[in-house]
Amino acid sequence: MRLTVNGRTHDLNVDPDTPLLWVIREQIGLTGTKYGCGVAQCGACSVHVDGEVVRSCSLPVSAFGPDQKIVTIEGLSAGAVHPIQQAWIALDVPQCGYCQSGQIMAAAALLAKTPKPNDEQIAEAMQNICRCGTYNRIKAGIKQAAGIAG
């Protein structure tokens, strides 16, 4: 089985039912993508597949082909220069940080499609749980990255 993650191809010998999340974490060794629920409820495991946000805990690795571009938090940018990452640093968005890979991947996908999202669009796209409660800074971070005032 072959996967393309962050621009690199990986030849893997895994059970086809293994969720993409655990292939990313345990086979490829990229641990920035987190396990939070395993049932597509929390968003901690969010990655991009061909630009779409996917909750990687709930899809088997067999659902993905070698031509699909999988991007994890480690591959979002080189040197954390994505505007979302920069805004996150500027505003000290993370508290514990555990949910933040997923939050950042969801926010980056939102801006890729909707460069100037309004409040409803932000709320609709950001369905990830943050138990530390960083939501208001997440919202401010998205606006800052999008260049939207307030």
Partner 1 sequence: MNFSTGTSRRRFLAGSAAAVGGFSLGFHIPAGDAAAQTPARPEINAWVVIRPDETVVIRVARIDMGQGTVTGLAQLVAEELECDWAKVTTEYPTPGQNLARNRVWGNFQTAGSQGIRQSQDYVRKGGAAARMMLIEAAAQSWKVPASECRVAAGVITHTPSGRSTTYGKVADAAAKLDPPKDIVLKDPKSWTIAGRPLPRLDTADKVDGRKVFGIDLVLPGMVNAAIKACPVFGGKLRGFDPASVAGRSGVKKVVAVGDNAVAVIADTWWHAQSALDALRIDWDEGPNARSSSATTAAMLREGLTAKEVFVGNQAGDPDAALAAAAKTVEATYSVPHQHHATMEPMNATARWSGGLDKVEVWCPTQNGESALATAAAASGLPPQQCEVYRIDLGGGFGRRATSHDYVRQAVLIAKEMPGVPVKLIWSREEDMLHGWYHPVTMCKLTGGLDAQGNLTALKMRISGQSILAGVNPNALQNGRDPITFQGLNPSGTEGRLGYAIPNLLIDHAMRNPPVPPGFWRGVNNNQNAVYLECFIDELAHAAGQDPLAFRRRMLGGSPKHLAVLDAVAERAGWSKPAPAGTFRGIAQHMGYGSYVAACAEISMTSSGQVKIHRIIAATDCGHVVNPQQVAAQIEGSFAYGLSAMLMQEITIKDGRVEQENFDTYPCLLLQDMPAVESIIMPSGDFWGGVGEPTIFVAAPAVLNAIFAATGKRIRDLPLKNHDLRKA
Note the residues at the interface with partner 1 (CB under 8 A).
15, 18-19, 22, 25-27, 29-39, 41-42, 44, 72-74, 76-77, 80, 85, 88-89, 92-101, 104, 122-124, 126-139
> Per-residue x/- mask for ligand FES, residues 44 to 83, rule CB under 6 A?
xx---------x-x--------------------------
- Tell which residue, 114, 105, 125, has the closest CA to residue 47: 105
Residues 110-139 that bind ligand FES (CB under 6 A): 130-132, 134
Selection from partner 1, ligand FES, none that 15 binds (CB < 5 to 8 A by kind) is: partner 1
Do residues 141 and 107 make contact, with C-beta atoms less than 8 angstroms apart? yes
Question: 80 touches which of partner 1, ligand FES, none (CB within 5 to 8 A by kind)?
Answer: partner 1
Beta bridge partners of 52: 49
Task: By CB under 6 A, name the one of 37, 59, 91, 140 that touches ligand FES.
Answer: 37
Q: How many CB atoms lie within 10 A of CB 145?
A: 22
- Beta bridge mates, 53: 48
Nearer to partner 1, 11 or 67 (CB): 11
Question: Amino acid identity of 83?
Answer: P
| Cα distance between residue 95 and residue 59, in whole Å | 28
Q: Answer with the entry of ligand FES, partner 1, none that 143 interacts with (C-beta below 5 to 8 A by kind).
A: none
Residue 52 interaction partner, one of ligand FES, partner 1, none, beta carbon < 5-8 Å per kind: none
Rounded-to-integer distance, Cα 104 and Cα 142, Å: 9
- For residues 9 and 111, give the distance between their C-alpha atoms in angstroms, rounded to a whole number: 27
